[in-house]
Amino acid sequence: MTSAAIAAYVISVELKRMSVETQKETLGFQTEVKQLLHLMIHSLYSNKEIFLRELISNASDAADKLRFEALAKPELLEGGDPLKIRVSFDKEAKTVTLEDNGIGMSRDDVIAHLGTIAKSGTADFMKNLSGDQKKDSTLIGQFGVGFYSAFIVADQVEVFTRRAGLPASEGVHWASKGEGEFEVATVEKADRGTRIVLHLKSGEDEFADGWRLRNIIKKYSDHIALPIELPKEQHGEEAAAEPEWETVNRASALWTRPRTEVKDEEYQEFYKHVSHDFENPLSWSHNKVEGKLEYSSLLYVPARAPFDLYQREAPRGLKLYVQRVFIMDQADEFLPLYLRFIKGVVDSNDLSLNVSREILQKDPIIDSMKSALTKRVLDMLEKLAKNEPEQYQGFWKNFGQVIKEGPAEDFANKEKIAGLLRFASTSDTSGEQTVALADYLGRMKEGQDKIYFLTGESYAQVKNSPHLEVFRKKGIEVLLLTDRIDEWLMSYLTEFDGKSFVDVARGDLDLGKLDSEEDKKAQEEVAKSKEGLLERLKAALGEHVSEVRVSHRLTDSPAILAIGEQDLGLQMRQILEASGQKVPDSKPIFEINPAHPLIEKLDAEQSEDRFGDLSHILFDQAALAAGDSLKDPAAYVQRLNKLLVELSA
């Protein structure tokens, strides 16, 4: 190839490269506005009535913006009419009108904010605020989509607005049918602020009703700082030409006020409002958190348990507000399941909500708030237990079994939860669950380093259990656990204040320092002397037992059944069987009291048949004493009757 050909080739390659580069361009995504609006209107919100919440929130923001701007320019207030929101309706015309005297909008504002989907005027406004101003503001809007929720119920929306400070001649009329186009015109508007007229769709007439609108406002916007007014209901001759307005919201969010300004009666009234309970709460905790996280909470402990407390799928959770605006009724992300009975509200602007503000998004902030609120509740319960023990006892009767779910669910607060638990014990013959673990530790014997407990079906069964005999003899207190959840609870609650828990019916009982060296030596000698009897019993009982040994537990009874260290207890077996789960096979340990006359007679028995019958009778009696059912009751009765006949001969 000649040098001229080479040069021509190089030039052609370079030209091709340049042409490719010159064709490269950056393009914006194209939007089918009509389709986008349709998606927003019909897919974003699950509840139609949300439209009023969103429009009222926008009106509230408009009032707040006016307050801020009026600090520098007082003339914007134009005479100083009190800031308010008015909602009215016309049944015949099928319209709902919402009007505010806030900041309003200029023509450019209208085009920029109503003509641009997902452009939030509030978000833009917030960007220009200083740190302190941001902190003091109560602005609600985040996404710039709330206004379009009006099209859920309306087939046409009209907006009449004028920005504060502009002349009356610069009012703006905006209108749209929500199909991708809008009209803007300049109109005369004497008053500042915004009026939105919704022309209701066919079938949405229910919203052109005073009671319906009142209920929606009470539900979602009750605590908005501005008064929300509706025309007063008037009938017949009373009807006046000029409507009389009345405020329908409380306009006071109790949780946002300083604690020192709120009376107990107000707290109690608010509790009844949020919980629909007719009784006063036992206790409450009101806190405002500032710093990395900013939120307010008002939490209540009810006086009585709801009927669906043990239905784990039942609605539960706190009322969630953002800047006083109601978001959801059962926000269950803020408290663990074992505190599902707690009522109250949380108000935070730091949360990640989805665009419709109906769903909480998974966020580390929620975990931080959950941790803090859980600790707050546990502190409140601790305070109640310390200062009002009688009231706490009432609380425990209602909610004790739910609190017992805590150690399994909330490892971080296990010790704190354990301090709240109450048990029946051998120190109190009433059978009431009044003993705290701290009380038990305070009464421990010298040398005792374990917390002893016994589980069973009922108090009557466990209080007379043979397992307690050695403890009665030595004056050692034992906790008596009879709730169905107790055995499961104790599998997670392994220690308290450095002292481990010991099930007195499980394994080989070792009382440690509570037994003297002489006692231990004597036990060993007795066990050695009864080796022959133990072998005979093991042969007689066969597959019914895993082991036969001399008991350290018994002083009065002839025999007892102990549970293996790794085996399931009776309660857990019954729970699993009731739920249809297969329970692993396990055999009890048969323990005898060598000093008992029946055991002595058994040891001296020469007839192997009679020895076998007596062994089985003692085994079945030990099972009955432990609260278990007999696998073969008929065989037990036959053996017992045979023995009685022999004794009566």
DSSP string, 8-53: HHHHHHHHHHHHHHHH----PPP--HHHHHHHHHHHS-S-TTHHHH
Which of 36, 355, 106 is CA-nearest to residue 114? 106
Write 409-415 long-range contacts (CB < 8 A, 24+).
Answer: 409/336, 409/337, 409/338, 410/336, 410/338, 410/374, 412/371, 413/374, 413/375, 413/378, 414/492, 414/493, 415/496, 415/497
pLDDT tens-digit map of 407-431: 988 888 999 999 999 999 988 888 8
| Structure confidence at residue 158 (pLDDT) | 94
Provide the total of helices (H) and of strands (E) in the chain, helices listed first: 22, 21
pLDDT level of residue 200 (50, 70, 90 thresholds): very high
Choice among 93-102, 115-124, 142-151, 204-213 with the minimum mean pLDDT: 115-124
Query: What are the distances in angstroms from CA 635 to CA 536, 621, 648?
Result: 20, 13, 20
| Residue range 558-567: mean pLDDT, rounded | 77
Which segments of 83-190 does DSSP mark as H helices, in order?
A: 107-109, 121-127, 131-136
- Name the nearest CA neighbour of 353 among 520, 141, 53: 141
For residue 446, the tally of other CB atoms under 10 A from its CB is 6
The answer to whether residues 158 and 174 touch, using CB atoms and an 8 Å cutoff, is: yes
* H or E element at residue 87: strand 85-90
The one-letter amino acid code at 110 reads: V
What is the C-alpha to C-alpha distance for residues 269 and 275, in angstroms, rounded to an integer? 10
Give the single-character DSSP code of 242.
Answer: S
Q: Residue 22's pLDDT is what?
A: 55
For 307-353, write each residue's pLDDT tens digit.
Answer: 777 776 776 788 888 777 777 777 788 889 899 889 999 888 777 65
Radius of gyration of the chain (CA): 38
Residues, the chain, total? 649
Which two three-digit tokens encode residue 383? 């305070």
- DSSP bridge partners of 246: 230
Q: Which residue has the higher pLDDT, 261 or 631?
A: 261
Q: What is the signed CA dihedral for 139, 276, 218, 255, rounded to 10 degrees?
A: -30
CA-based nearest residue to 175, from 191, 156, 193, 189: 156
Query: Residue 499 in contact with residue 441, Cβ under 8 Å?
Result: yes
The pLDDT value recorded for residue 40 is 60
Q: Does residue 542 have a pLDDT over 70?
A: yes
Residue 649's pLDDT is what?
Answer: 61
d(CA 443, CA 427): 10
- Which long-range contacts (C-beta less than 8 Å, at least 24 apart) are formed by 242-250? 243/88, 245/86, 248/214, 248/217, 248/218, 249/217, 249/218, 249/221, 249/222, 249/223, 249/224, 250/222, 250/223
Counting beta carbons within 10 angstroms of the beta carbon of residue 618, is it exposed (0 to 12), middle (13 to 18) or buried (19 or more)? buried
439: pLDDT strictly greater than 80: yes
Distance CA 504, CA 527 (A): 20
Higher pLDDT, 296 or 25: 296
> Among 591, 592, 586, 537, which residue's Cα sits nearest to residue 564?
586
Contact indicator for 199, 157 with CB cutoff of 8 Å:
yes
385 secondary structure, DSSP code: H
> β-strands 182-187, 245-247: how paired?
unpaired
Mean per-residue pLDDT for 422-443?
89
285: β partners: 299
Cβ of 234: how many Cβ atoms within 10 Å? 11
**Given this model, what pLDDT does residue 133 score?**
47
Place of tokens 């939860």: 417
Tokens of 62: 């408009």
What is the rounded average pLDDT for all residues in the chain? 80
Q: At how many degrees (to 10) do helices 608-625 and 531-541 cross?
A: 80
* 31 pLDDT above the threshold of 80: no
Alpha-helical regions (H) of 388-458: 389-403, 406-409, 414-420, 437-442
DSSP letter assigned to residue 592: E
Which 8-state DSSP code applies to residue 411? G
Looking at mean pLDDT, say which of 193-197, 493-497, 630-634 comes out highest: 193-197
* Paired strand residues for 100: 85, 194
Structure tokens at 539: 């042969």
